[in-house]
């Protein structure tokens, strides 16, 4: 990785910039939406490019973001290799016309490659320790990698740590207010106990060789949870016919309000587990490596949310997870306790959106500033 004094010259904080934000996943829409709105409020011009993956384009449209699609997401390895060429080319053509001063993304190799070709800075966000292969593909072409302070990997001189989590960029109280009407929409009263259960598709590159809830035992798992309340399922893929009645059908952009009011979140989605924890909802993540080790053991935000704040728990299999879930559901004070733990977390952490916008607007001075602080 390059020395600090060899970074691209960047831009001056007083300049009105052109910023290209590349989005590769639905969660990144939430991550960047407030950052984009604030940059625009400050007079900067923002271009959004995105992969057509799951509900990414839908969310961009819901939030009123104009965007350029870089094409559909593919899982086949050969198609992924072809995508590397075609997406780089599509992004290059868009950038050539837009003439951005900077590229921003969450670990986008496409943004990193094209930024390098144009001699412009690429600022990447990263919070997934298991994405080592993807990091290797974009890091050599990236100027700065912004990670939570609890991130367990040392990414060298390009890394800047901040005291927060990605999810706080959109779930911090400065930006997120739960909508109680979601309860009426789901036909739930304020006194009803309900649980959100998530299944993922295991299609992401960092999900290779990982596993969660044992397939074929989903119905048995749901029946165990149903003894304590209603179970609502969010799933990236098809569900068994007997489970389909549990599927959440509300618009995806409303899921965070539902998550806020839930009595428990449990499932395979790491991002949703973190979201639940930050919202003050008891969260249990189920995922293990091929060796049967809970992936949370390698994940900085999971370890911090468990060990420092007691907001999230993680297990390698559903049996251990279910045992913990039952103990939480049987304690009628759990939700109140989690709300208190959330307040403690919010007092400790920063407004991530405000921090990110300040960092981008003052780059590269902001980078030098944080590096000087590291040396003290």
> Quick one: 371 and 341 in the same domain?
no
> Quick one: 339 and 244 in the same domain?
yes
Query: From the CB of residue 250, how many other CB atoms can be counted at a distance below 10 Å?
Result: 14
Q: Looking at the 3D structure of the chain, how many domains does it have?
A: 2
> Quick one: 197 and 311 in the same domain?
yes
> Quick one: 49 and 162 in the same domain?
yes
pLDDT tens digits, one per residue of 52-65: 999 999 999 999 99
Alpha carbon distance 100, 370 (integer Å): 24
Alpha carbon distance 266, 198 (integer Å): 7
Contact call for residues 294 and 287 (beta carbons, < 8 A): yes
pLDDT tier at 152, thresholds 50, 70, 90: very high
> Quick one: 155 and 210 in the same domain?
no
Which pLDDT does position 5 carry in this prediction?
Answer: 40
Alpha carbon distance 62, 54 (integer Å): 14
Q: What CATH number is associated with residue 152?
A: 3.40.50.2000
pLDDT tens digits, one per residue of 75-106: 665 666 677 889 999 999 999 999 999 999 99
Contact call for residues 155 and 136 (beta carbons, < 8 A): no
> Quick one: 64 and 209 in the same domain?
no
Contact call for residues 17 and 102 (beta carbons, < 8 A): yes
- Exposed, middle or buried by CB within 10 Å (0-12, 13-18, 19+), for 75? exposed
pLDDT tens digits, one per residue of 199-253: 986 445 444 557 888 888 899 999 999 999 999 999 988 888 999 999 999 999 9
User: Per-residue pLDDT averaged across 286-298, rounded?
Assistant: 93
Residue 136 pLDDT greater than 90, yes or no: yes
| The two three-digit tokens of residue 161, written as one number | 């740590």
> Quick one: 329 and 368 in the same domain?
no
> Quick one: 355 and 331 in the same domain?
no
Which pLDDT does position 6 carry in this prediction?
Answer: 39
> Quick one: 341 and 357 in the same domain?
no
> Quick one: 154 and 234 in the same domain?
no
State CA 127 to chain mean position distance.
8
Which pLDDT does position 125 carry in this prediction?
Answer: 98
* Percentage of the chain lying above the pLDDT 70 cut: 91
- Sign of the Cα pseudo-torsion (359, 362, 368, 369, in order): negative
> Quick one: 239 and 369 in the same domain?
no
Q: 66: domain range? A: 4-172+350-375
Which pLDDT does position 376 carry in this prediction?
Answer: 73
> Quick one: 157 and 41 in the same domain?
yes
Which pLDDT does position 215 carry in this prediction?
Answer: 81
Which pLDDT does position 158 carry in this prediction?
Answer: 97
């Amino acid at each position: 990785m390059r020395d600090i004094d060899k970074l691209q010259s960047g831009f001056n904080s007083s300049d009105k910039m052109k910023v290209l934000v590349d989005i590769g996943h639905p969660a990144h829409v939430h991550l960047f939406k407030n950052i984009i709105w604030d940059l625009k409020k400050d007079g900067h011009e923002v271009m959004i490019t995105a992969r057509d993956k799951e509900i990414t384009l839908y969310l961009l449209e819901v939030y009123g973001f104009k965007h350029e699609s870089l094409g559909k997401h593919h899982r086949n390895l050969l198609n992924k290799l072809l995508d590397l060429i075609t997406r780089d080319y599509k992004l290059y053509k868009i950038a050539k016309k837009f003439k951005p001063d900077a590229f921003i993304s969450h670990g986008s190799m496409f943004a990193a490659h094209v930024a390098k070709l144009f001699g412009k800075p690429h600022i990447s966000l990263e919070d997934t320790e298991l994405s080592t292969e993807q990091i290797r593909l974009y890091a050599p072409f990236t100027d700065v990698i912004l990670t939570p302070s609890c991130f367990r990997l040392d990414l060298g001189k390009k890394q800047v740590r901040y005291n927060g989590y990605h999810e706080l960029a959109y779930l911090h109280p400065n930006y997120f207010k739960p909508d109680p009407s979601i309860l009426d929409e789901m036909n739930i009263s304020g006194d009803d106990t309900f649980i959100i259960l998530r299944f993922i598709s295991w299609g992401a590159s960092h999900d290779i060789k990982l596993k969660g809830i044992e397939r074929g035992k989903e119905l048995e798992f749901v029946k165990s949870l149903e003894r304590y309340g209603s179970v609502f399922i969010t799933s990236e893929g098809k569900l068994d016919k007997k489970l389909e009645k549990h599927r959440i059908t509300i618009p995806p952009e409303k899921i965070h309000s539902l998550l806020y009011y839930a009595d428990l979140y449990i499932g395979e989605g790491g991002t949703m587990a973190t979201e639940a924890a930050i919202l003050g909802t008891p969260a249990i993540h189920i995922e293990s490596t091929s060796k049967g080790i809970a992936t949370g053991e390698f994940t900085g935000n999971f370890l911090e949310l468990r060990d420092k704040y007691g907001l999230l728990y993680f297990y390698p299999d559903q049996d251990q997870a279910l045992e913990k879930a039952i103990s939480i559901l049987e304690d009628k004070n759990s939700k109140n306790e989690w709300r208190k733990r959330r307040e403690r977390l919010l007092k400790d952490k920063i407004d991530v959106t405000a921090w990110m916008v300040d960092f981008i607007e003052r780059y590269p001075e902001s980078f030098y500033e944080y590096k000087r602080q590291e040396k003290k």
